[in-house]
Structure 1
Amino acid sequence: MRRVMLEENHESPRNRYAIQINHLRKAYKNIEAINGLSLKVPHGCFFALLGPNGSGKTSTLRILATLAAADSGSVIIDGIDAHKNPREVRKRIGYVGQEASIDKILTGEEHLRFTADLHHLPRNQGKERIEAVIEQLDLREWIKRRAGTYSGGIRRRLELACALLHNPEIFIMDEPGVGLDPESRHLIWNILKGCVNQGKTILMSTHQLDETESLADQIAIVDKGRILAEGSPSELKEKIGKEKLTIRTKEFCTSEEAEAVSTILKSKIGVEEIIINPCQGYALTVILNQLEKTPEIIDTIHYAGLPLFSYSNSKISLDDVYLRSTGRTLIDAELATVGTRDLRKERKQAMR
């Protein structure tokens, strides 16, 4: 685990954190996208916002990047108020949005030159930085071609190259793993890890558990515009328990049948908590605070004369942390948001 820089003696209280979010709120008509969210991201930290689509991650990051205004609350980036001084904030951050920001007509090189001009880089410095990011992102083969001919992975590399160009200390990235081929994913993850090893700060939103586990120093679980849990991956999992046992009494059982099993098992030694998941046919997730308790739990169900369709045990995962925090898995939360939001309307409103 990388060391997160929190050296209070060398930093003023104002600059102790790379990013501070205080009681942030944002609504799109009758939809509250961000609901009083507060967060502090230390310098030199790889921080992940983990949550399903529609949980408020993108709205939060757009406000941090000064691309949208909050209804209330404050955002401090490296000691600078993002609302009062957005221009200074933009100098300090590199932003990669979830949606493609590449002009299909321009070549990769033209994108980089344009980005260098936007950041007012001196000509010689701009040329040096363009060459550096081309090599860093392995873009030499494509850099003279129009971006419209790029694959999704190469487009993502170019977007990251544009974000890296002015050498910012803080990166804000919205779902950077979406649409990546394995080669681009491996390359980009290594670059991001290298940035953090150099003391830079990354705040990334994601709904992918694997990249969160492998990359993040700290995680905040987000749902319905609120932070429900926060800590390192290991800390969050250790707070849950030692092991997880998933039980199905029937292929499709009722809530009453699941409650009956839960009532019997709650009194067993080693059972920390039982979560009934209605989205998965009222399956029971039994959190155990002791290892090797599965045989005893299964015997209890048999002795009670209750049916048992299937069971499996596994280590505690981040999905279990999310399940305990919200009562549903991350996949179930993703499915629940399908068709409930008009993202086109929300984006249109965000641009006003």
Structure 2
Amino acid sequence: MAVTTATRPAISVSGLRKTFGDKVVLDGIDLMVTEGTVFSLLGPNGAGKTTMVRILSTLVPADAGSIRVAGHDLTKEPDGVRAAIGVTGQFSAVDNLLTGEENLKLMADLHHLGRTEGRRRIAQLVDRFDLGEMARKPASVYSGGMRRRLDLAMTLVGDPRLIFLDEPTTGLDPRSRHAMWQIIRGLVAEGVTVFLTTQYLDEADQLADRIALLDHGRLVIEGTPDELKRRIPGGHILLRFADPTALHTAARTLTVAQRDDVALTLQIPSDGDVRSLRAVLDRLDDAHVEVDQLSIHTPDLDDVFFAFTGTPASAAAGHDNTEGHR
């Protein structure tokens, strides 16, 4: 996770509202994204995540609300916003008929980079994204992971300070996902702000400084990953003992524990912090009780997702094509 001392907003939104026909997609959204951080927007399919990205990146107009992106008023200065941002969507913008270098050159031309500057920038990106000799081959032969790396490299040709990543690792194998995570961390370390939507909750947990959960067009909760997980009950310390005598003594010592005589375990409510764990072990040590096995169980973002949307996280996997084409 990125560590930053920046306090200036890269994105500030107040009262954002968007409808399509009689369907309210975004209903009074307020949020702020700090420069040099990763902000992750989560939510079930159809919650409005892609619509939010499309509005913030000037692709779709909002119906109401005050929005500033990269220091520019979204309504009054859309060109200023576009010049400051990069967007990598759910669906790759790579041209299969062109080589990786030709795709990058196309973006350099669109950004009006001079020939020398364009070549320099392309060489940097080919090296940074480990495209190597594949950069001279048609994109049609690229693996999924390499294709996504090229897609993000194309986004970076214009050197944006704010990047929208809309489900950037969907469909990638674990190795390719982790490679993309490293790239994102590197960008943030350089001061780039990342607005990330993802269906992978572990991805948000790994990358995001702050997370907002969107459901039925409203933000239902926001905070750091740890803050959100602490909102969910059910954390506990599980102690396993070698024999019934040790279990019995421990149960008398730890009166709040839930006892399982068959499994020889005690379950003690805990948020997993070091202080509460130390207190439990100190009490057992004073009672001369040895613990055979110990494990700590804390709520994860799946639990947060389910608690605040009523939707199992697994049901949110995959694309929402309806939302994606708005």
Q: Deviations over 1:98-149 (max 9, x none)?
A: 1122222222111111101111122211111100111111112321222222
Q: Secondary structure at the match of 1:141?
A: helix
Deviation at 1:74, TM superposition (A): 2.9
Give the direction of change, closer, same or farther, for the CA distance of 1:244–1:63 in structure 2 (3 Å limit): farther
Q: Secondary structure at the match of 1:158?
A: helix
- Paired residue for 2:178, among 177, 186, 197? 186
1:106, 1:77 → 2: CA distance?
32
- Paired residue for 1:149, among 141, 144, 163? 141
Q: Which residue number in structure 2 is paired with residue 131 of structure 1? A: 123
1:343, 1:141 → 2: CA distance?
38
Q: Which residue number in structure 2 is paired with residue 212 of structure 1? A: 204
- Paired residue for 1:166, among 150, 158, 169? 158
Deviation at 1:213, TM superposition (A): 1.1
Q: Which amino acid aligns with 1:75?
A: I
Q: Secondary structure at the match of 1:228?
A: strand
Choose between structure 1 and 2 for higher RCO, CA contacts under 8 A separated by at least 6 residues. 2
- Paired residue for 1:241, among 233, 240, 247? 233
Q: Which residue number in structure 2 is paired with residue 63 of structure 1? A: 55
Give the direction of change, closer, same or farther, for the CA distance of 1:270–1:170 in structure 2 (3 Å limit): farther
Give the direction of change, closer, same or farther, for the CA distance of 1:2–1:102 in structure 2 (3 Å limit): closer
Aligned-pair identity in percent equals 41
Q: Secondary structure at the match of 2:133?
A: coil
Q: Which residue number in structure 1 is paired with residue 312 of structure 2? A: 329
Deviation at 1:185, TM superposition (A): 2.0
Structure 2: 5+ residue runs without aligned partners? 238-255, 259-268, 277-295
Q: Deviations over 1:277-306 (max 9, x none)?
A: xxxxxxxxxxx56789xxxxxxxxxxxxxx
Query: 1:49 touches 1:205 (CA, 8 Å); kept in 2?
Result: yes
1:215, 1:163 → 2: CA distance?
19
2:15, 2:144 → 1: CA distance?
36
1:121, 1:177 → 2: CA distance?
29
Q: Which residue number in structure 1 is paired with residue 253 of structure 2? A: none
- Paired residue for 1:318, among 296, 301, 320? 301
Q: Deviations over 1:221-251 (max 9, x none)?
A: 1111211111111111123236179xxxxxx
Give the total of aligned pairs. Answer: 278
2:231, 2:89 → 1: CA distance?
33
Q: Which amino acid aligns with 2:232?
A: I
Q: Deviations over 1:39-94 (max 9, x none)?
A: 10001111111122211111100111111111222321122012221211111111
Query: 1:20 touches 1:41 (CA, 8 Å); kept in 2?
Result: yes
Q: Secondary structure at the match of 2:149?
A: helix
Query: 2:16 touches 2:66 (CA, 8 Å); kept in 1?
Result: yes
Deviation at 1:150, TM superposition (A): 2.1
Q: Deviations over 1:304-340 (max 9, x none)?
A: xxxxxxxxx94211121122212332224x28x99xx
Q: Secondary structure at the match of 2:183?
A: helix
Q: Which amino acid aligns with 2:71?
A: G
Q: Which amino acid aligns with 1:324?
A: A
Is 1:101 the counterpart of 2:84 in the alignment?
A: no
Give the direction of change, closer, same or farther, for the CA distance of 1:111–1:290 in structure 2 (3 Å limit): closer
Query: 1:4 touches 1:42 (CA, 8 Å); kept in 2?
Result: no
Deviation at 1:31, TM superposition (A): 2.6
1:97, 1:238 → 2: CA distance?
32
Q: Which amino acid aligns with 1:343?
A: T
Deviation at 1:25, TM superposition (A): 1.6
Structure 1: 5+ residue runs without aligned partners? 8-15, 246-268, 272-287, 293-312
Q: Which residue number in structure 2 is paired with residue 5 of structure 1? A: 5
Q: Which residue number in structure 1 is paired with residue 322 of structure 2? A: 343
Q: Which amino acid aligns with 2:222?
A: E
Give the direction of change, closer, same or farther, for the CA distance of 1:4–1:226 in structure 2 (3 Å limit): farther
1:47, 1:270 → 2: CA distance?
38
